Amino acid sequence: MIYINELQKYLGQSVTVKGWITNKRDSKGLAFIVLRDGTGILQCVVSEETVGNESFENAKRLPQESSISLTGNIVADDRQVGGVELQVTQLDIISESEEYPISNKEHGVEFLMDQRHLWLRSRRQWAIMKIRNTLIMAIHEFFQDRGFVQMDAPIFTGNACEGTSTLFETDFYGDPAYLSQSGQLYGEAMAMAMGKIYTFGPTFRAEKSKTRRHLSEFWMIEPEMAFYDLEMNMDLIEGFLRHVVSRVLEKNKEELQIIERPIEPLENITKPFPRIPYHDAIEILKGKREVNGRNAITLLEEDLKNAQARLEEIHADIAQREVKVADQSTKKGERKFHEDKLRALHSEKSNLEELSRNIPTWLESAMNFEVGNDLGGSDETVITRLFDTPIMVYNWPHEVKAFYMKRDANNPELAKGVDVLAPEGYGEIVGGGERETNKDWLVDKIKEHELPMEAFEWYLDLRRYGSVPHSGFGLGLERLVAWVCKLPHVRETIPFPRMYGRLLP
Ligand code: 4AD
Ligand code: MG
C-alpha cells in the first residue's frame, strides 16, 4: 500500500493509490480528480487518450466520495498540495458512491452535526483531528518523559468528585452507580503507590444546557503528584501546556493553515503565564486594577465601539456587492469574487453582531460580580482579554471549590486551587490544586457537601496511612483542542460529541 503523503519518494515511478474522490472537474478529453486517502490529497489527471473511453467516462461520471484505485505516474508539480500529481494510466472502481449529502456549498452546523460520520472526511475536520492526535501523543510524551505512570481510573464509581448536580446515574447490578466525573480520587490513591501518575480517560458530566464549552462526555488528563504543593503544581501545568502547544506548532503547520488558525497567539506559549490570586483577578474583572496600563472594562467598551463601527462598514460593503451580483452585466468571474466576499462578510457580520449583543451583558455581569463567587464563562473572557498567554488564577474562596481542596492554614477562607484560563476568550481549560490532608477538615467538607460518608471511607484512608502533601490538576482535552484550533465550539474537537440534545450519530 502506498499513501499520498509519501509520494515524493516515488517521483518518476508508476504507483497505485487508493482513496475517495473529494472533488472533480473535467474539460475536453481530460478529467481532474482530487483523491483523498486520509494522509493527504492528490490531484490526478485522467486523459481519455491514455485510459480509453470507458475509464474516462467513469472518471467523469463517478460521484464525489466514490472509492477508487488509481494507477499512474508520479510527476512533480509545485502548484499541487503535496508537490506532485498523478498521471493516471488505469482507474478501478472500488465502490461507486450514492449522491453525497455534503457538498462544497455552505451547510448549517446542525445539518453537519447530523452528518458527523461523513463530515469527519472534510478537510477542516481532518485537520482538527490531526491536531487532536498530536496533542494526545504530546500529553503522553510529557508525562512519560518525566517518570509519571499512566493509570486507568474506573468509569463506574460510587463517588461524586465534582459536585452532585452533574452526575449521570446508572444501574450497577441493581445498585446506583455514577459515570465518573473525574479520575482524581483514584489518582490520589495511585500517587501514594507510584509517586507520580496521570489518568487519561473519558469523564462524564450531565450539563443540561447548551454552551460552547460543555460536553457530556469529554476526555480528561489528570496528573497527581505526591509531595507537590500548589506552587510546584503550577510550575508543572505551565511546562506541560508549553510542551503540548509547541508540539502542535512543530508538527501541524499545514493543519493550522487549513483551519486558518493564526499562530502568533500560540507562539506566546513560551512566555511566563501570569499567576494571579483570585482576589486580584476580581479587581481586574471589575476594572479596579489595571494590567500593563490596560483596564478590562474600558477595553471591552472599546471593543464594543469598534465592533459597531465595523458593522456599519460591513453593511455598506454588503449593499454595494449585492448590487454588483444582481447586475446582469457583471462578468462571471467578478460575480464569483463578490459572492465569495459576501459569504465572508456575512460570517464576520454575524460574529460581530453576537459580540455586540454579548459585550453589554458581560460588562453588566462583571460590574455586578460579587466577591466570593465562582467566575462565570463571560467573566473569564473579560479577564483574559487583557492577556496574550494563559493565566493562572489561584487561592480561591473555599466555598466555590470542591470538597477535597486544601484550605490555606493561614487564611482558612481560601482554598489552594488553581484554574488556568486560556486567552482569546476561551477561559478555563485546567482546574486543579493542592489536596486537603487534614482529615478532620476533610470530614467536615464531606458533610458540608452532603456526600455519603461511607463512600468516602477509602478516600479518608489515604489520610490515615502515611498522608503526604500532594497536588494535581485536570485538563479538558476538548477545551484545549478548541483553543489551539481557535474553534467557536467544543463540538468539533471530538469525533463524536456527546452533549445535551445530541446522542446520534
Ligand atoms: O475543573 P474541573 O471540574 O476539575 C476536576 O475535575 C478535578 N478533579 C481535576 C483535578 O484536579 N484532577 O474539570 C477539569 C477540566 C476543566 O478545567 C475543563 O477543561 C474540563 O475539565 N471540563 C470540561 N470539558 C468539557 N465539557 C465539560 N462539561 C467539562 N467540565 C470540565
Ligand atoms: Mg473547574
Helix (H), strand (E), coil (C) string for 241-285: HHHHHHHHHHHCHHHHHHCCCCCHHHHHHHCCCCEEEHHHHHHHH
**Who's near 12: CB < 8 A, 6+ residues apart?**
73, 74, 75
Phi, psi of 89 (to 5 degrees): -110, -20
The last residue of one of the domains, among 95, 127, 156, is 95
> Do 316 and 252 share a domain, yes or no?
no
- 211, three cell numbers: 454552551
C-beta atoms surrounding 287 within 10 Å: 18
How large is the C-alpha radius of gyration of the chain? 27
> Do 315 and 174 share a domain, yes or no?
no
> Do 202 and 266 share a domain, yes or no?
yes
pLDDT tens digits along 305-357: 999 999 999 999 999 999 999 999 999 899 989 998 998 999 899 999 999 99
Ligand with the closest atom to the CA of 421: 1
Nearest ligand 1 atom, CA 479: 19
Instruction: State the pLDDT at residue 368.
Output: 94
Say if 422 falls within a structural domain. no
> Do 19 and 124 share a domain, yes or no?
no
98: left (phi > 0), else alpha (psi -120 to 50), else beta?
beta
> Do 90 and 155 share a domain, yes or no?
no
Ligand 1 centre distance from Cα of residue 419 (Å): 10
CATH number at residue 142: 3.30.930.10
How sure is the predictor about 81, in pLDDT bands with cuts at 50, 70 and 90?
confident
Say if 411 falls within a structural domain. no
Say if 421 falls within a structural domain. no
Q: Which domain holds residue 322?
A: 301-361
Instruction: State the pLDDT at residue 106.
Output: 77
What gap in Å lies between CA 116 and CA 134, rounded to an integer? 21
Nearest ligand 1 atom, CA 216: 28
Say if 167 falls within a structural domain. yes
* pTM above threshold 0.85: yes
Ligand with the closest atom to the CA of 168: 1
pLDDT tens digits along 448-490: 999 999 999 999 999 999 999 999 999 999 999 999 999 999 9
| Average pLDDT of the chain, as a whole number | 96
The residue type found at 237 is I
**Who's near 366: CB < 8 A, 6+ residues apart?**
285, 286, 287, 296, 297, 300, 378, 379, 382
Instruction: State the pLDDT at residue 195.
Output: 98
Ligand 2 centre distance from Cα of residue 192 (Å): 24
**Who's near 328: CB < 8 A, 6+ residues apart?**
none
Ligand with the closest atom to the CA of 428: 1
> Do 137 and 88 share a domain, yes or no?
no
Nearest ligand 1 atom, CA 477: 19
Q: Which long-range contacts link 371-376 to residues 24+ away (Cβ below 8 Å)?
A: 371/279, 371/282, 372/397, 372/399, 372/400, 373/397, 373/400, 374/400, 375/281, 375/285, 375/419, 375/428
> Do 267 and 321 share a domain, yes or no?
no
164 and 178 in contact (C-beta within 8 Å)? no
Residue reference for cell 494507477: 71
**Who's near 211: CB < 8 A, 6+ residues apart?**
377
Share of the chain above pLDDT 90, in %: 95
Say if 446 falls within a structural domain. no
The last residue of one of the domains, among 309, 328, 361, is 361
Ligand with the closest atom to the CA of 205: 1
> Do 133 and 8 share a domain, yes or no?
no
> Do 59 and 148 share a domain, yes or no?
no
Say if 443 falls within a structural domain. no
Say if 348 falls within a structural domain. yes
What gap in Å lies between CA 172 and CA 480, rounded to an integer? 33
> Do 33 and 158 share a domain, yes or no?
no
pLDDT tens digits along 202-253: 999 999 988 999 999 999 999 999 999 999 999 999 999 999 999 999 999 9
The pick from 213, 219, 220, 490 for probing ligand 1's pocket by mutation, whose C-beta has the most ligand atoms within 8 angstroms, reads 220
Smallest CA separation from ligand 1 atom 18, residue = 476
Say if 320 falls within a structural domain. yes
> Do 254 and 337 share a domain, yes or no?
no
Rounded to the nearest angstrom, the gap between the alpha carbon of residue 467 and the centroid of all alpha carbons in its chain is 36
Ligand 1 pocket residues where CB is under 6 Å: 161-162, 182, 184, 205, 207, 214-215, 218, 220, 222, 428-432, 472-476, 478-479, 490
Counting the structural domains of the chain, the total is 3
What gap in Å lies between CA 254 and CA 495, rounded to an integer? 20
**Who's near 353: CB < 8 A, 6+ residues apart?**
311
pLDDT tens digits along 85-112: 999 999 999 999 999 999 877 788 999 9
What gap in Å lies between CA 192 and CA 155, rounded to an integer? 20
Ligand 1 centre distance from Cα of residue 428 (Å): 9
> Do 179 and 230 share a domain, yes or no?
yes
